A and B are shown apart, each in its own frame.
Chain A
Amino acid sequence: MATIAELLERSGSRHSGYSYAFLDETAKRDLRRAMLKAVAIPGYQVPFGSREVPVAKGFGTGGLQITLSIIGPGDVIKVIDQGDDAGVNANNIRRLIERTTGLDTTLETAGATVIQTRHRVPEEVLREDQVLVLQVPYPEPLRLVERSQTAARTMHAEKDYARMWLALYEDVVRKGEVTIGAGYPVVVNHRYVMASTPVPRWDLPKLHRSKALHLFGAGREKRLYAIPPHTDVAPMEFEDHPFEVEGFGGTPCARCGAAATFLTERLNADGSRTLTCSDTAYCDLRLTGGKAETWY
């Protein structure tokens, strides 16, 4: 096992005056212990001693603390925001990781060992040796029906999700369907109801029995949770109102022509919309003739 001093030495471009991967080693150990617990209890929110990091709360501090605690020499990092490597926040987090570790970063999904993401799961199928770190604003799915954290924890402990089901039912009665768009609640390993970060509904099927480890971090709320590889993940749904993912009416990506990816809108001056892949790395891969296994 390498010492901190050795790690510092091996990393080329560290930021002077700061330790490897910014956080002090005690903090990282704390976080890793919490992660081990999270992996052992899929979907359960583990409270952890969230630290301040040099990006603002709400900008991905939970995901960032997870990433900083698990990376080391040899890792290759990819950071995306809304599926896009070029997002301003993705860039900012990427340069912080580069600056404090000297690690290589990549834009290619397949080339990364750790991918930190906000609000998307990549379109390419992830492998066993990859970790997806998701940034979470609201870790508590029950906040929809219960604002007290203490009460919500008790409900989780007792697997008491009646009010959650009732809220979804009332949604169907009043509005004809469950109106939750992004961040649709899921049941993990047939046990815990979990907030899905908010990724679009589109990405939820990718979480089911994925080969990769998924780690979720909410820095401001001081909670982290995990979906270990090969874990069952099911959206909360009714038999007569099955869960549906978003549809784009058959419109392909205006850039690469993909017919089955999650598309995002650009508003044009004339009020029309142009739809392109939200996962820009996958879009690029298609444009350059590359091949990758996708979920569809």
Chain B
Amino acid sequence: MYTSVKASLDAIKRAEKLITDDILSVEHPLRAAQIVESLSPLVEKVMAEGSLYDPGLGALAIIQAQGDPIEAAFLLRAYRSTLPRLGYSIPSRSEDVHVLRRISPAFQDVPGGQVLGRTRDYTLRLLDLSLANGASFPAAAGRDSRSSSENHAPPGDAAQATKAPPEFPVVLDYLRKDGYVEEAPAGSGEDEPFDVTTEPLRFPAKRSARLQIMARGEAGALLSLGYAAMRGYGESHAYVSEVRVGSVDVKIRHPITGNPAAIGRIPVTEAHAVFPGKASLNDRRADLTFGYGLTLGGDERKAISMAIVDENLSQRHHAGGLTQDDEFVLQNIDCVESSGFVEHLKMPHYVAFQADMQRTNRITELMKRVGRNGNHR
């Protein structure tokens, strides 16, 4: 027995070594700093889905996972299990976001202005062959600051930009003030969030739990559900009242003074979406329902998908679409859970297969004895 245990242990050690050799033996090994610098969407995705904000560790995980984002997120998740939960931050408001980009597709113009900022939305998707030789974009020499608060400031008005940060009122608030939008769903004001990393989920899930699970959900899974909801598997066409990209200070209560204290800043993307058509003369509901999306990093696609699905889940009592079922949505979008379970099928299953095959055997024999039309042969 010992020898076969040893042989199998050797096999898994060698399998592991084939991977570490691959990582270590490349001619141009990547350094974490390069990845943080060049592949920020990937690092942000891995940190968001890994539920841990640390670009250095995120980049390290990407190197160790050889660029596989789900594997990298998993590495971060496992690492965070070793860390105690020390507390919860003070809630931030949309207005607290240091805006780099902010648009409101629902209106031609909004207070604070449309700030296009940095976006790929209107780039031409032409594969730039000059990048292959390490050539850089012409603009690289005089690289624009990524801060679009400068873009936002009118040209030549530098003094204005340094005086005070521009203000971006929340577009949704105007709609809500006028009675067009439903009130925020119950639970939005919870002081301490339901912590999905330390408590098991119960259904119907609290909104804070739902938002957490989606915020760390797999971007592709959310995209797929948000898309399905728009195509008729929910019942929603969203109008995006606002997309906000920037960073936000993380504040906690100072343990001694009790005053708010900023402990760091994280990049975030927020999406507000409204959905017309819900009012009726019978129950005086506001006509617009509302969905909220927020993710770590700059993934606008994920934030908007999340806003669509959030609205769908809020409407669970009113319809029966798949994307309105919180058990379905919230239990199937976590990349660590879904990838692990799908991949576990590669593990030995021969005991259960043996047990099931005995039943298969019996029914197959039985079918052989009974003709196709049900007559005994």
Contact = CB atoms under 8 A, between A and B. Distances in A.
Given A149-B327, A150-B203, A85 B82 contact: no
Categorize the interface residue count of chain B. Answer: 35 or more
Given A51-B81, A83-B351, A148-B327, A57 B1 contact: no
Interface string B195-226: 10111111110000000000000000000000
B341 interface: yes
A4 B217 CA distance: 34
Interface string A61-93: 100000000000000000001111111110110
A262 B358 CA distance: 12
A160 interface: no
A22 B82 contact: yes
B171 to A, nearest CB: 36
A200 B198 CA distance: 33
Interface string A26-45: 11001000000000000000
B347 A89 contact: yes
A274 interface: no
Nearest to A280: B1
A169 interface: no
A26 B355 contact: no
Interface stretch (A6-14, A177-185, A208-216, A226-234): A177-185
Contacts of A53: 78, 81
Contacts of B84: 24-26
Nearest to B85: A26
Nearest to A247: B358
B4 A86 contact: yes
Contacts of A198: 352, 355
B337 interface: yes
B18 interface: no
A116 interface: no
Contacts of B331: 149
Interface residues of A, number: 70
A223 interface: yes
Contacts of B12: 88, 91-92
Looking at B204, B348, B360, B362, the one whose CB has the most chain A CB atoms below 10 A away is B348
Contact of B348 (A19, A58, A82): A82
Main secondary structure of the interface of B (DSSP, over half): helix
A176 B361 CA distance: 13
A88 B348 contact: yes
B263 interface: no
B19 interface: no
Interface string A249-266: 000000000000011110
Nearest to A246: B358
A284 interface: yes
B88 to A, nearest CB: 15
Contacts of B1: 85-86, 107, 280-281, 283-284
Nearest to B352: A182
Given A51-B197, A175-B363, 9 more contacts: A26-B84, A86-B4, A107-B1, A181-B358, A262-B354, A280-B4, A281-B1, A283-B1, A284-B1
19 contacts: A30-B198, A49-B195, A52-B78, A85-B1, A88-B347, A89-B347, A89-B348, A95-B9, A119-B351, A137-B341, A137-B344, A148-B203, A149-B203, A149-B331, A150-B203, A175-B366, A177-B362, A199-B351, A200-B352
Interface of B: 1-2, 4-5, 7-9, 11-12, 74, 77-78, 80-85, 195, 197-204, 327, 331, 336-337, 339-344, 347-352, 354-360, 362-363, 366
Nearest 10 A/B pairs, CB to CB: A58-B344, A57-B340, A47-B200, A56-B340, A181-B356, A200-B355, A182-B352, A58-B341, A52-B77, A181-B355
